Amino acid sequence: MPTSQSYVAMSDGVRLFVETHGSGPRTLVIPNGLYLADDFKYLARDRMFVVYDVRNRGRSDTVTDRAKLARGVEQDVDDLDIVRRQLGVDRIDLLGHSYIGLMVALYAMRYPAYVNRVVQIGPMQPHALTQYPAHLSNNDGTLTEVLARIAQLQKERGTDIVTEEACRQFWDVLRLICVTDSKDADKVTWGRCDLKNERNFMKYFMTSLLPSIRALGLTADDFAKAQAPVLTIHGTKDRSAPYGGGRDWAATLPHARLLTIPNAGHAPWIEAPAIVFDAVRVFFDGAWPEGAQAATRVPANG
C-alpha cells in the first residue's frame, strides 16, 4: 500500500503535516487523524486514505503568532479545504472524532459542493452551552473524579503540560473518561506526548478552540446548507461529548442518521469494534448501516 508524508502550506504560511495511504477513485480525509490511522486504515484498501495534523497540533507547525490561531475551529475548516485542493480532488469523504466531529460538520455546511459523505464519532455537541438531562449525558462519579485529579495536576504543574512526563500523567488520568469500562482505558493511546504541540494542546484548546466553538451560534439555515449524508455514531455513556449532542446533530442536519452504541463511551470503536468498523465501511460504500436511524431532538436545558 503506497504511503507518503508531506507538509502542506496554508494561506498564512503555517504548514500542516499530511500522511496519505492507498489509492483509489474515492478519497477519505480524517483531520487530526494520526491517532486514528491504525484503527481505520482498513478503509484504505480501495480509496485514498488521508490523515493530517490540524493547525498547531501533532507534527504540524507550532504557531506562536496568536493572530494565526484567533479564528479557532473556523480556521480549521478553511485549512481543510486547502488540504483538499492540495490533494487535487473535487469531492471528499470525511471522518471526525470528538471536536473534529463538529469541525467536519462545519465543513459540510461551509463547503457543501466538495463533500460526499461524513462520519462523526462522539462529536462535540452543535451548541456548546447546551446542558443535557441525565439520560442524555454521563456526568457520573468517574467524570467527577477525573476532573478533580486533572485539576490537581494543573495546580501542581500549571496549565501548560510542558514535559513528556506531565503529558503522560495527564493522559493516564484523562483516558478513564474515554471508555465506559476502566479495563479498556489502556487502549486509549492518543497522547502523542513526544510532540510539543500535543503537550501544550490543552492551553491552545481552552484559549483559542473552545471560545471559537462557543461563538458559533449555528442556526437552522446553517444546518440546511449541509447536503451530504451524515452518519453520527455516539455512545450512550460518553462522558466527554454527551450523547444528547449526537442526537442533536442527527436531528438537525438534513440528511443525517444516528447510530447509537449502547453503554459505549467517547471511543465506541474500542468498545464495540465490530459494530463501528462495519458501519463506517458500509456507509462510505454508499449505504446506511443497520441500526442507523433518524433522530429527534430531546428538550435540554440551557
- Which residues on adjacent β-strands are paired with residue 293? 258
In the prediction, which pLDDT does 159 show? Answer: 54
Cα 151–chain centre separation = 24
Instruction: Give dist(CA 6, CA 197) in Å, integer.
Output: 18
Report pLDDT digits (tens) over 124-179.
999 999 999 988 999 888 888 988 998 888 777 765 557 899 899 999 999 999 99
Instruction: Give dist(CA 243, CA 142) in Å, integer.
Output: 16
In the prediction, which pLDDT does 147 show? Answer: 87
In the prediction, which pLDDT does 161 show? Answer: 56
Residue 8 maps to a domain: yes
Give CA separation, 93 vs 28, 77, 219, in Å.
5, 14, 24
Q: Is the dihedral of CA 59, 62, 66, 67 positive or negative?
A: negative
Instruction: Give dist(CA 106, CA 164) in Å, integer.
Output: 33
- Which residues on adjacent β-strands are paired with residue 119? 95, 231
Q: What is the DSSP letter of 288?
A: P
Residue 149 maps to a domain: no
**What domain range includes position 38?**
3-134+213-284
Residue 37 maps to a domain: yes
Instruction: Give dist(CA 288, CA 256) in Å, integer.
Output: 10
- Number of structural domains, the chain? 1
Residue 247 maps to a domain: yes
In the prediction, which pLDDT does 300 show? Answer: 54
Residue 46 maps to a domain: yes
| Ranges of the chain with pLDDT below 70 | 1-2, 158-161, 298-302
Residue 49 maps to a domain: yes
Q: Where are the alpha helices (DSSP H) in the chain?
A: 37-40, 73-87, 99-110, 141-157, 164-174, 196-199, 201-204, 210-214, 220-224, 243-252, 268-271, 273-284
The DSSP secondary structure of 58-125, one letter per residue, reads TTSPP---GGGTTTTHHHHHHHHHHHHHHHT-S-EEEEEETHHHHHHHHHHHH-GGGEEEEEEESPPP
In the prediction, which pLDDT does 298 show? Answer: 67
The one-letter code for the residue type at 179 is V
Closest among 120, 87, 76 to 102, alpha carbons compared: 120
Residue 144, SS3 per DSSP: helix
Residue 280 maps to a domain: yes
In the prediction, which pLDDT does 216 show? Answer: 96
Instruction: Give dist(CA 197, CA 211) in Å, integer.
Output: 19
CATH code of residue 278: 3.40.50.1820
Residue 58 maps to a domain: yes
